[in-house]
Amino acid sequence: MLDDAVQIQARADVVRKFVKQCTVDNGFKQVLQASGRHLLSRAIEEHRMDNGKEGVRGEMVQALIDGGIELRPRTGVPAETPLMLAVMWENPDIVRRILDTEAGLASVNDVDEEGNTALIYAVERAVCYKSGELVYVIDLLRNAGADVNHMNEKTEETALEILVKKEGDRVAVQQLLDARTTVTERALLHAKRVRECLERETSRRELENRAGKRRRMEADPSIDDFHLAIVDEERLRERFENSKAVEELLNRVKSA
């Protein structure tokens, strides 16, 4: 029943009632295993998919946490913790709620079957986070004691190396550097490759846009449908400027 309550978008107070009753009846663990998946993990995933209902889902997750639900179980493949799932589904509010608990703090450096921590999950999803949210999540994890120099076992990459490769925001990169992340040669190589690639693409796009605009204006001077191309060019230039700033940051720290 508790699993159904989570899945059908029940109110947080309904979930709290179920949790309390299960605890009183000493049957909480049996209910917890009823669906074959951890209820908190289910609630986190449902929270991410319910656009416009984040507050409701956040309270539901809080109800499960307050009920004493285990925060360090492993579910699925690879074996993610609830904290990893919250990070993977880009839920800063749920990340905060989990890290506000003792068990959540203890799970900050847990690893899945490939050796990924919650911090590595965060930087892997860098491009999916809304503006400012990744910085907030990294800050939460860092303050909780996340190991910024941990390497995953599959690619032997650190969070910084992955973030740079994923065109991470310069502010997020600076956060990791402030946490005394080691600037490796691979991180520098990633930064150089990203910057060079974006530099070439920026130059190519600028030439194509200028040529395209000339052709359009020559054909019909009244045509003004070039705005989208200009916007794309501006976004590409923003990415290029960010890549230059990241490379400069890394080189400055490495040479210090």
Strand partners, 75: 80
Q: Which residues contact 84 (CB under 8 A, 6 or more apart)?
A: 110, 112, 116, 117, 118, 121
- Rounded to 5 degrees, φ, ψ at 5 are -60, -40
SS3 197: helix
C-alpha closest to that of 118 among 135, 101, 142, 97: 142
- How far is residue 235's CA from residue 239's CA, in Å, rounded to a whole number? 6
Give the number of residues written for the chain: 256
Residue environment code for 102-117, b if the CB has 16+ CB neighbours within 10 A, otherwise e: ebbbebbebbbeeebb
Structure tokens belonging to residue 43: 């609630």
* pTM for the predicted model, two decimal places: 0.79
Structure tokens belonging to residue 39: 């209820």
Residue with tokens 């490495």: 254
Q: Which residues contact 150 (CB under 8 A, 6 or more apart)?
A: 109, 111, 115, 117, 119, 120, 158, 159
Q: What are the residue ranges of helices labelled H in 67-181?
A: 82-88, 92-99, 102-106, 118-124, 133-143, 159-165, 170-178
pLDDT (tens place) for every residue of the chain, 256 residues total: 445 444 434 455 555 555 555 554 555 555 554 443 466 777 777 655 555 445 556 777 787 777 777 777 655 555 788 899 899 988 899 999 999 999 889 999 999 888 999 999 999 999 888 888 999 999 999 999 999 999 998 889 999 999 999 999 999 999 999 999 999 999 999 999 999 999 998 888 777 766 665 555 555 555 455 555 566 778 888 999 999 999 999 999 999 7
- How far is residue 125's CA from residue 128's CA, in Å, rounded to a whole number? 5
